[in-house]
Chains A and B, each alone.
Chain A
Amino acid sequence: MPGFPTAMAMWIHGARAVLMKELRMEWRSRHAINLLFMFVLSSLLLVVFALGTGQIEPPLQAALLWIVIVFSAAVGLGRSFLAEEEQGTLLLLQVNVPGSQVLAGKLAFNLVLIMAVMSVTVVAFMGLMGMRIVHAGLLLATLGLGSVGLAGATTLLGALIAKASARGPLLPVLLFPMLSPLFLSVVRATQEALTEGATWSGSATDLTALVGFAGVVNTAAFLLFEYVWTD
């Protein structure tokens, strides 16, 4: 019987195996990443067409940035468990890997996807809408914390939806109400990072709320996932 460090190392090993499998699958088809990029680009174009060429104020920029990110997350991230169910690989995974490791792997994969979407969106906003970043550190911290919270929520909800018999566009319906605290604080912190004279202390409360939200959502996801997985 190996000790605690060995068990933990093996847990991490299992989670990494799931992550690598997801990445490899994605690399072969590039389905999710193409879907996400197309969604981001087309919604951005719509925003730019609708608003014309005039200069847009930072509050509006922050709101639009996060609307694009959150909507593309709701569209593109619910797939991972659904694909297992459709391809019939679910049982294989259930037999070979314990639930918490599967969740950890899928969560890491979704985190990678969200971060890719975020970087594309931010770069596109800077290019197309003249977004000026005043406080880069604050913006990075906000994006990072936001993506962790978003990944935790979408991964567990994706697992729930994969079990439903009538799927349809369920993920946005389930996701948006519980995302409201994240959305509000992330938009406020981004506004702060985009306006002149931004400081860390200016968004201390928002960052605390984000840390708490990300922590609670992810631990709750691990706690509740067992009940979804052993079905």
Chain B
Amino acid sequence: MSTVARKKSVIWDYLTTVDHKKIAILYLIAGGFFFLVGGLEALFIRIQLAKPNNDFLVGGLYNQVLTMHGTTMIFLAAMPLIFAMMNAVVPIQIGARDVAFPFLNALGFWLFFFGGVFLNCSWFLGGAPDAGWTSYASLSLESPGHGIDFYVLGLQISGFGTLMGGINFLVTIINMRAPGMTYMRMPMFTWASFVTSALILFAFPPLTVGLVFMMMDRLFGGNFFHPAQGGNTIIWEHLFWIFGHPEVYILVLPAFGIFSEIFATFSKKRLFGYSSMVFATVLIGFLGFMVWAHHMFTTGMGPIANAIFAVATMAIAVPTGIKIFNWLFTMWGGNIRFTTPMLYAVAFIPSFVMGGVTGVMNAAAAADYQYHDSYFVVAHFHYVIVGGVVFALLAGVHYWWPKMFGKMLNEALGKTTFWLFLIGFHLTFFIQHFLGLMGMPRRVFTYLPGQGFETGNLISTVGAFFMAAATIILLVNVIITTAKGKKAEADAWGVGRTLEWAVASPPPEYNFAQTPLVRGLDALWIEKMEGKKGLTPAEPLGDIHMPNSSILPFVISLGLFIAAFGFMYHNQHSWGLFVGIGGLLITLGSMFLRSVIDDHGFHIHKEEIMEAEKGVKA
């Protein structure tokens, strides 16, 4: 059964890969691309709002751009970029050779990718969704054209991918840890990924159900949300937010994890209060499911429900506060190095705390009647999502870039990116608090002169261009680094604490020639402090079993992509139903092939590994 992997073309290699490190690169490229698309949409929004009575994007088109900005940033940029980090780092941090289900890992990526492409096809096929990223049923059922159908079917497909990713990382972290890697020795980023994966597992099915109802109502004559036939549009709001609120923790917990790694590494200190960090992460994950209705205070649920959800929401500030203080105490007395990732981490604390404070303000149900649907809310969630998640992703990209690609990003350019982004971010969103308090509603495409909104909006727009400039410099940095960057060592920053810094940059296909023996928290740091060069192996050198690559994940996802087009047009065109069923048959057929064709993988022989490892050591 053991065969040597044949040489393949790069494109075919990436289409068929099941290697978590290559899948991480795929997620990074696809997520990065959608981040640029969503960023352009944000710029368009800000250009339209730069002055009163502007006519750059009017009415319906503005609604489409606004909806796609939110949907793209959450589902197609932030989520996949987090999966990029998780794929690149988690298996190595726990001393594993791959994830538990490499095939499923590839399938998850391709489902996300085709879902995202499908959603964005709407721009060229009659118009994008236009009911906001929350797509409330009372709006979206009335939306003409196919925009909302693209939303429903596209998110359905990419949601399956995310769910698979979640299950995969749960099993990986439970079953694949190296000897000695107990739960309480796992790096904080791994813990965060673990809790996030559990949230994904329980949060995505309600979204799937909500999307199915919406699909039934719009395409197949269902009545879930039609009041005339007994339906109830509030059901959508509940299902959406039962998913939607855990979703923000799905995004922000890995961000906390990334920052925990960075604080410890560049303070040259063990993370302060590690066990309380773990506890806080799990508690946030748990409470995250108890608070969804704080998005619906003005729906009319009554004072008791509002009070319960208000108190539960405020309670989340407690574990989050624990984390903030732990990060501060990690830096306290540390040997701090202000590298680019560390700059983001330090800037994250005040930025995120401001978002947290406005969060508690929004949680006060009575006060929320004033903030609801105003720019105050827009300012709040951009402070937590950009100030938390986007900062973390930018920090993580700079931090782990050498591990993923084997080259150090340029620090001068990195710091330029940071300062432009930080200034731009606060310029854009700080003023929006006040615009909101002054009465500017969100999701409205223009405003009249003389209401005091002019200066604030202009400042906000200028800030957005700062962030755009920062992104361009980051891209320049990537290009320059790829062309002639400095080659990264295994321990690229020189102060690595966790296992990923013990393997070559980029790591070999099998990660560890010998599975390491983990002897405590910050496993690599322990070995370095004892003067050792590498990790203590837990097994003799031997053949390594590897999974086969496969094109089936791509084909399974392509089938659903085709099916979605068919079902969307089945009411207007007779071919719709055939294409829909044909697409499903492609998917089911590929799943059948996956089931009946044995896949035992292959072995990399001991001699080849010794040859490869010699090259690294020299």
Please say whether chains A and B are actual partners in one complex.
no
